[in-house]
Amino acid sequence: MKCHVPGSNVKVLGRTIHALARFGDELYLESLPDCIMFRTLNAAESAYAMVKFNKSFFSYFNYNYYSTDDNEGLKCKISMKSALNTFKSPTHMDKQVENLEIKLDPEACKLIFQMKCKHGIVKTHYVSILDCKAMQAVYTKDLVPNRITSHHRILSEALSNFQSSDDQVTVEAQSQSLLLRNYIDSNADLTKVIRTQINLKPSEFDSYSIGTDTTITFTLKEFRALLGFAEALTLPLQLHFETTGKPAVFIVHNGATFEAHFVLATSKADTPTQATTQNTTCPDRGKRKETMAQGSASKKPHLDVDISKCLDEDSHLFNFIDMPDENMPMNGSHVDQGGKQSEDCDMNANSNGLDHKQMLDSSHIPASPTSRTMVKSVFKRCFEKTFDPRSLLGAVLAEDSDSE
């Protein structure tokens, strides 16, 4: 196999290798009579990517250059890290590389990438072949009831609202809306996670056709990778899917030049925690309010006891209490020293119609607090009018200065 990639398409090939590197650690290359295919698969076998470059992508293409006997083409598997070393900076490769030549000899154990750069510089990369086999995934994209075509910017802006720690995303497709939300495990504490939910209308997409209402969940890492690939090439993204458990196929293509398929395995969303967010939250709030009300009612006697205990124990340094005069009547109201009017309790409960529980008896009056004596003993000198330094015991460490 031998082919030449023009400088304008080298950038596309480099971005393709970088996008596939976010899926798997191994790169499968297969040469066919009309195209070259690059494939990869992640370690969990839940994400598959395939990019097909047609003959029109190359300036020269010969899949049977070394006169092989079979017409099936050549197959090989290389390390993804070795492929990344060949395309280190795909952003500026179109300005540096004039032509890229790819050679694959069935008798050799190396895959050759030869770059002819400007100013007569030639860079040759020999990549070791790990195995001579191909890999193919089984999926369908045509006979599916749900198809969506979207501009890459719509989904990119939607994913920018998700947290970087989110692993999976749930897509709830209906005829009138498309709902995106982060997947949260049923065993997770809902009070410690961030719920993100984006609602998109059919008018925001280029084409929107939902034959069956479906809810699917897939990995967010690979979804960001394929979306970044479509954004780098400024191409729309097509989504083909059917029901839960069937793979979702994302397609990025550029007419007759190349076509990329990204297949992601789907899983079922957890209905109790994912589908009904508001319905499960509102009863919990009402139940929480009811529990708080019951708790406050049950703790009310305890609070009264604590308040009375705090009032019994004098917690202030100074607590002046104006005792009423013995000749002053206890009924009615009086004005204290600050000018604030307060009502006094009627000592004659029977005259005002108070029951026995509300009667104020002298036997229930608490005793005088004992903490004031302790406070005065600690701050004894604060209550003295004068202070004589000669009363201090011990030697004087610093004498008074002279009067002059």
Please say whether the beta carbons of 3 and 56 come within 8 A.
Answer: no
- pLDDT tens-place string over residues 288-301: 434 333 444 444 34
- pLDDT tens-place string over residues 333-357: 444 444 444 444 444 444 444 444 4
- Using 50, 70 and 90 to split pLDDT, how confident is the model at 88? confident
Question: Among the listed ranges 12-16, 39-43, 242-246, 394-398, which one has the minimum average pLDDT value?
Answer: 394-398
Both tokens of 246, joined, read: 């069937």
On whether residue 270 sits in a domain, the answer given is: no
CATH classification at residue 106? 3.70.10.10
Q: What is the mean pLDDT of the chain?
A: 76
Q: How many domains does the chain have?
A: 2
Res. 251: pLDDT tops 70: yes
> What per-residue confidence (pLDDT) applies to 135?
83
Q: What range defines the domain where residue 72 resides?
A: 1-137
Work out the average pLDDT over 129-138. 85
On whether residue 44 sits in a domain, the answer given is: yes
Task: Read off the DSSP letter of residue 131.
Answer: B
* Three-state SS at 260: strand
On whether residue 309 sits in a domain, the answer given is: no
- Using 50, 70 and 90 to split pLDDT, how confident is the model at 307? very low
Query: Percentage of the chain with pLDDT > 90?
Result: 41
Please say whether the beta carbons of 76 and 83 come within 8 A.
Answer: no
Please say whether the beta carbons of 183 and 168 come within 8 A.
Answer: yes
Please say whether the beta carbons of 200 and 180 come within 8 A.
Answer: yes
> What per-residue confidence (pLDDT) applies to 83?
93
Mean pLDDT comparison of 46-60, 185-199, 258-272, 322-336, highest-scoring range: 46-60
> Among 105, 137, 169, where does a domain finish?
137
- Using 50, 70 and 90 to split pLDDT, how confident is the model at 191? confident
> What per-residue confidence (pLDDT) applies to 376?
55
DSSP class per residue in 65-114: TT--SSSS--EEEEEHHHHHHHSS-GGGHHHHEEEEEEEE-TTSSEEEEE
> What per-residue confidence (pLDDT) applies to 244?
87
On whether residue 221 sits in a domain, the answer given is: no
DSSP class per residue in 299-360: HHHHHHHHHHHHHHS--SS-----PPPTTS-SSSEEE-TTS-EEEPPPS-HHHHT--STT--
> Among 88, 121, 137, where does a domain finish?
137
Res. 372: pLDDT tops 60: no
On whether residue 150 sits in a domain, the answer given is: no
On whether residue 206 sits in a domain, the answer given is: no
- pLDDT tens-place string over residues 31-67: 988 899 999 999 988 999 999 999 999 999 988 777 6
- In the block, residue with structure tokens 């719509």: 154
Please say whether the beta carbons of 198 and 181 come within 8 A.
Answer: yes
- pLDDT tens-place string over residues 64-81: 777 655 566 788 999 999
What are the residues facing 124 on neighbouring strands? 114
- Does the predicted TM-score (pTM) go above 0.75? no
> Among 111, 137, 163, where does a domain finish?
137
On whether residue 231 sits in a domain, the answer given is: no
Please say whether the beta carbons of 41 and 80 come within 8 A.
Answer: no
On whether residue 110 sits in a domain, the answer given is: yes
Structure-model confidence comparison of residues 315 and 274, the more confident one: 274
